[in-house]
Amino acid sequence: MSAKVDKRILLSQPAGSVHLAIFDSTMAGKLRLYASLLFAVSSVLAAAASGDVKIAVYWGQNTSEGTLRDTCNTGLYAYICIAFLSTFGDGRAPALNLAGHCDPASGGCASLTADIASCQSAGVKVLLSIGGGALGGYNLSSPTDAQGVAAFLWDTFLGGTGGAGAPRPLGAAVLDGIDFDIEAPSRYYDDLARSLASLYGRDARGRAYMLTAAPQCPFPDASLAAALGTGLFDHVWVQFYNNPRCQYAPGDVGGLRSAWQQWTAALPSAAVFLGLPASLDAAGSGFVDADTLASQVLPAVEGAPNYGGIMLWSRSYDKDTGFSLKLQGILQNRNNHTGTGCVLSDVSVLLLTQS
């Protein structure tokens, strides 16, 4: 057998080169691998665009943020937490509060069904966040209470069928999971997590659902320590703001780094996200501008094997400031210059003819 090179197209990468060989036989039964070539080149191109950071964002508390569909269509976010189911537990009638977006009590939020489907078709995970800052509006009184709240969430927002005619405030939409944003110390959220996980496993269509949480950065979190200790949470976006002892201080990333190391070590099975405000007005303290975040803070956290990305409060503030858009631009530029991202410049393709 001899081989001759028919064509050679060179393309290189900063971190090394990619070599693809296509062998073409002129004999009967020859193997044509052109499809493999197209697939491989497509993979390189996909890698070239993978320098973005994954961002989770909260939506629902300000009408100025725009629609849920428009939020997803920005392409900036991987996860959107609809905020909030702000009343539940201890005998309360559960209540969804989406500020001025729609009125759940009159069925007005069923219009979000199409928006949610649009987001999910674009690959964005849409979750319901329970809790929030409306302290006094929620708590769990017992394991049985937790089981009841889990059943309500499953039947009303997830894959459950519930009783005949059971209302679904978001219409026929089936969300991707439940987010715990519990701001007031309370017990039994571990029971809620276990009950939800059990219900998740019963989905007749085999659909996967997520558990996420947004604890405060002082470790351990006063409200969610027991729940997070179950190991059931997929993603945890830790709030590194409104907590001076563990948030970024100008020129000093030490306190944040120390807390980050505690969180990532304690949650080896979860992807841990760095939670931040999207503007100075979004929180009392802890805002980090995009340039500082990229140059000082992310280098201190990205090395953790379970680093997941960042979480922003909230879409309305992010829309006003363009924070995430600026951050993505900075990171893409950084990756292009350091070779972290895959920049298309050289692919080597060899077409060999067997004779």
Active centre residues (catalytic): 183
CA–CA distance, 1 with 311 (Å, rounded to integer): 58
Residue with tokens 């005998």: 91
* Cβ atoms within 10 Å of 297's Cβ, excluding its own: 21
